[in-house]
Structure 1
Amino acid sequence: MTTTLVVLAAKMGNKYGGLKQLEGIGPNGETILDYSMYDALKAGFNKVVFVISKYFEEEFKEKVSAKYEGLVEIKYAFQEIESVPEELRNSKRNRLWGSAHAILMVKDLVKEPFGVINATNFYQRESFELLYSHLQETRNTLQNHFLISFRLANALAETGGVTRGICEVNDKDELISIVDRMGVERIGGDPMYLNEYNKWVELDVNSPISMNMWGFTPDIFNSLNQSFDSFIATSGTDLKSDFSIPGFMNEMVQEGLKVKTIKTPAKWMGLVSPDDRIQVILRINDLIRKGIYPSKIFEQTNQSPK
């Protein structure tokens, strides 16, 4: 039985240089993506589709996905600015079309329920186990989509502001709305963001948020395709327009789509700024001491995670 994980990795690099965000944070140079892959395989995922850019395809395969060859079925999809015809976009655009557009790129490769993650987020083992188990429940169903939601207090960067998809849910843990808030950081110990009037707005530390860990059934591709066409028609020439998963899902929820939120107790971490690196390294070392991870993963022999 195939259980697929779609890894959004096109933003790891660009046509102007090599791969970004491949900072080694494990004792043998392991990256955040290495730990995500290790956790995903341990949870039971047996197919991975990497969404990357053709500008760094060779480098990605050599430096990243080669480590997982033989352990899991690997496919590639490509996200490019040029996938939109020239007459429908601004010729000066140099940013990708967004995370929801990235998912649309895998529609010909995925025919089964699938999970989605960002390549540069550390989600922790518990989150992958929740994602996997709930994907099994969606088999032979339609329109059964869900979000693995984090607690805001568990998903803030050590330094600086971050963008977070702040969710509102009902008493059935169904998504009512999701709105991206930029520049979320701790001010005096409390999470806040600057609104459009340049005023700090306090957020509830217990708010459920999206870190782009989703579970979908394949019928989502029809909605994605229609929504992206509308997006290009209205915003295709806007250099900063973004077809994001939170924006798309918020639109779908407002139209009546039922989306369950599944709470994870996990604590996120990531390399938002260079100052975060030491904290991430310390936390990884602590997880290794606790036996959650071996000191070295993905040996040269390509043995499966133990």
Structure 2
Amino acid sequence: MAAGSGSRYGKLKQFDDLGPAGEFLMEFAMYDAIKNDFDHIVVITKKENVDFLKDHLSGRLPQNIKLDVLAQEKTDLPDGVTFNGERKKPWGTAHAVWTARSVINGPFAVINADDFYGQSAYANAAKFMQKHPNDNTYALLGYTLKDTLSEYGSVSRGVCMVEGDDLTSVEERLELEQQDDSVIDHHSGNKYSGNEQVSMNFWVCKPSIFDKIESEFRIFLKDEDRIANSELYLPITIQEMLQAGEASVKLVPSGGEWFGVTYASDKEKAMKNLKDKTEQNQYISPLWP
């Protein structure tokens, strides 16, 4: 998913040159996925970025990798539905996934383009998909809360509630920040140890998600308040499937580190991390010889 506006970052962070040879952060995700036998890359972006990304990526990715670059557009609505109002924001992350409904027909992973998830996360996602190829079992790749904070401001995270390895819910916390030996959510006042598992929006989904998103989108579009003030969020849609018994969700530990570029100040740290990993031979440079 690469359709965000980067409001806190100050520009389109998805297309910032963070790698040692000027690669975008999402290219490291693609590299890690391909290394673990993913063979189809689908990028969801803004309409004005489609041609640029097609040209940029098609000349870099291996020839055996299928590439689709799709525009998330506010005019992409369910059949028979019209919307004549005004809205500046996209419809949300669930709608971004729904954008890919015509090009995906099997299990797939969903990630943010401005996050680094670690090579082991893609390996664990691939293993899960091989173990659950046809059933309606989804997965969330989990990360340790204290390892996902920013030095430069509060962050929002989905704190995972689990029973065994079954995900029961994800509680959105909006202003999490390290404070002494604990993590405080300034919005709710909740305090955490920092060892909790959180969602960084790395999901393994099945095609059944597309029908669910469409039905939820139809409901969303009948609510003027939600149209004006909200979005259709992928985690909420999956939780509704979970609560309705339409899917089960496993929490799969990522087994690796996460970092992102929420704030402009995160850029230098991200660049150093990628440089260090390249020098440690986890990546080649350039990524696409």
Considering the TM-score relative to the shorter chain, is it more than 0.5? yes
Tell me, yes or no, if structure 1 residue 104 matches structure 2 residue 133. Answer: no
| SS in structure 2 of the partner of residue 147 of structure 1 | strand
**Residue pairs, 1:1-306, within 5 angstroms:** 8-11=1-4, 19-68=12-61, 70-84=63-77, 89=83, 91-139=85-133, 141-171=134-164, 173-195=165-187, 200-235=189-224, 238-256=227-245, 257-299=247-289
Taking the aligned partners of 2:144 and 2:36, their CA distance within structure 1 comes to 21
Taking the aligned partners of 2:101 and 2:254, their CA distance within structure 1 comes to 27
Q: Which runs of 5+ in 2 are unaligned?
A: none
Distance 1:237 1:146, change over 3 A: closer
Taking the aligned partners of 1:134 and 1:71, their CA distance within structure 2 comes to 23
Q: Percent identity?
A: 28
Contact 1:19 1:56 in 2 (8 A): no
Taking the aligned partners of 1:147 and 1:79, their CA distance within structure 2 comes to 23
Taking the aligned partners of 2:82 and 2:163, their CA distance within structure 1 comes to 39
Distance 1:122 1:47, change over 3 A: same
Q: Which runs of 5+ in 1 are unaligned?
A: 1-7, 300-306
Q: What displacement does 1:89 show? A: 4.8
CA deviation map 1:183-206 (0-9, x unaligned): 22212353222225xxx3212312
CA deviation map 1:212-245 (0-9, x unaligned): 1111121222222212212222257632311111
| SS in structure 1 of the partner of residue 227 of structure 2 | coil
Distance 1:20 1:267, change over 3 A: closer
Residue identity in the other structure for 1:187: Q
CA deviation map 1:22-69 (0-9, x unaligned): 222222112211111111111110111111222221222234454226
Residue identity in the other structure for 2:145: L
Contact 2:53 2:69 in 1 (8 A): no
Residue identity in the other structure for 2:29: S
Residue identity in the other structure for 2:191: E
Distance 1:235 1:45, change over 3 A: farther
Greater shift, 97-106 or 229-238, is seen at 229-238
Contact 2:50 2:70 in 1 (8 A): no
Distance 1:20 1:284, change over 3 A: closer
Q: What displacement does 1:163 show? A: 1.7
| SS in structure 2 of the partner of residue 108 of structure 1 | coil
CA-based RMSD of the aligned residues comes to 2.4
CA deviation map 1:110-153 (0-9, x unaligned): 111111111111001000111111111222x2312111111112
| SS in structure 1 of the partner of residue 260 of structure 2 | coil
- Relative to the length of structure 1, the TM-score reads 0.85
CA deviation map 1:56-100 (0-9, x unaligned): 212222344542262511123321122249x86573311011111
Query: How many residues get paired?
Result: 284
Taking the aligned partners of 2:125 and 2:145, their CA distance within structure 1 comes to 19
Distance 1:12 1:50, change over 3 A: farther
Distance 1:111 1:83, change over 3 A: same
| SS in structure 2 of the partner of residue 267 of structure 1 | coil
Distance 1:204 1:64, change over 3 A: farther
Taking the aligned partners of 2:73 and 2:4, their CA distance within structure 1 comes to 10
Taking the aligned partners of 1:12 and 1:42, their CA distance within structure 2 comes to 29
Taking the aligned partners of 1:292 and 1:205, their CA distance within structure 2 comes to 28
Contact 2:50 2:69 in 1 (8 A): no
Q: What displacement does 1:159 show? A: 1.8
Contact 1:88 1:237 in 2 (8 A): no
Residue identity in the other structure for 1:175: L
Contact 1:154 1:266 in 2 (8 A): no
